Structure 1
Amino acid sequence: MAHMTSSDKTSHTTESSLLPVDGEDVHVCQDGPRDAPALLLLHGSASSARSWDALVPLLAGSHRVIRIDLLGHGRSAKPDGDHYALPAQARRVAAVMDLLGVRRAVVAGHSSGGVAATALAELRPDLVTALVLINTGPGLDAFIASEQAAINPETWPPADEEIRRFASTGFSRPGYQVPDELLDEVRAMTYHSLTATMAATSAYLARRALPERLAELGKPLLVLFGADDRRWRSSSAGRYRVVPGARVELLPGLGHSPILEDPPRTAASLLTFTARHAARAD
Structure 2
Amino acid sequence: MTVSEGGPYASGEAVGSALELGGGERIHVCQDGPRDAPVLLLIHGSASSTRSWDQLVPLLTGVHRVVRIDLLGHGRSDKPDDGTYAVTDQAHRAGEVLDRLGVGHAVVVGHSSGGAVAVALAEQRPELVTALALINTGPGLHAFIATGAAAAGPAQWPPSDEQLREFASSGFSRAGYEIPDELLADARRMTLHSLTSSMGATRTYLEQQPLPDRLTVLGKPLLVLFGEDDRRWRSSSAADYAVVPDAEIHLLPGLGHSPLLEDPPRTAEPLLGFAAVQGVRAE
Give TM-score, length-normalised by structure 2. Answer: 0.94
The DSSP-based 3-state class of the residue aligned with 2:16 is strand
What does the per-residue CA deviation read over 1:205-239, in whole Å, with 9 as the maximum and x for residues that have no partner?
00000000000000000000000001000000000
The DSSP-based 3-state class of the residue aligned with 2:14 is strand
* 2:17 is the counterpart of 1:17: yes
User: 1:250 corresponds to which residue?
Assistant: 251
Contact in 1 for aligned 2:10/2:182 (Cα 8 Å): no
The amino acid that maps onto 2:59 is L
- Structure 1 gaps of 5+ residues are none
Query: Given the alignment, which residue of 129, 149, 154 partners 1:151?
Result: 154
Contact in 2 for aligned 1:4/1:14 (Cα 8 Å): no
Contact in 2 for aligned 1:91/1:120 (Cα 8 Å): yes
The DSSP-based 3-state class of the residue aligned with 1:14 is coil
Instruction: Give the whole-Å Cα distance in 2 for the aligned partners of 1:51 and 1:273.
Output: 21
User: 1:261 corresponds to which residue?
Assistant: 262
**1:75-114 pair list within 5 angstroms:** 75-114=76-115
Task: Among all aligned residue pairs of Structure 1 and Structure 2, give the percentage whose two residues are the same amino acid.
Answer: 64
Deviation at 1:84, TM superposition (A): 0.3
The DSSP-based 3-state class of the residue aligned with 2:182 is helix
Deviation at 1:8, TM superposition (A): 6.1
Deviation at 1:281, TM superposition (A): 6.8
> Which 10-residue stretch deviates more, 143-152 or 160-169?
143-152
The DSSP-based 3-state class of the residue aligned with 1:98 is helix
The amino acid that maps onto 2:154 is I
Instruction: Give the whole-Å Cα distance in 2 for the aligned partners of 1:177 and 1:52.
Output: 16
User: 1:229 corresponds to which residue?
Assistant: 230
The amino acid that maps onto 1:19 is L
The amino acid that maps onto 2:14 is T
CA RMSD after TM alignment? 1.7
Q: Across the two proteins, how many residue pairs are aligned to each other? A: 277
Deviation at 1:61, TM superposition (A): 1.1
What does the per-residue CA deviation read over 1:39-62, in whole Å, with 9 as the maximum and x for residues that have no partner?
000000000001000000000111
| Inter-CA distance 126–210: structure 2 relative to 1 (3 Å threshold) | same
Give TM-score, length-normalised by structure 1. Answer: 0.94
Deviation at 1:17, TM superposition (A): 1.1
Instruction: Give the whole-Å Cα distance in 2 for the aligned partners of 1:191 and 1:281.
Output: 42
> Which 10-residue stretch deviates more, 137-146 or 169-178?
169-178
User: 2:67 corresponds to which residue?
Assistant: 66
The DSSP-based 3-state class of the residue aligned with 1:79 is coil
| Inter-CA distance 19–262: structure 2 relative to 1 (3 Å threshold) | same
Deviation at 1:280, TM superposition (A): 6.2
The DSSP-based 3-state class of the residue aligned with 1:131 is strand
Contact in 2 for aligned 1:129/1:280 (Cα 8 Å): no
| Inter-CA distance 30–145: structure 2 relative to 1 (3 Å threshold) | same
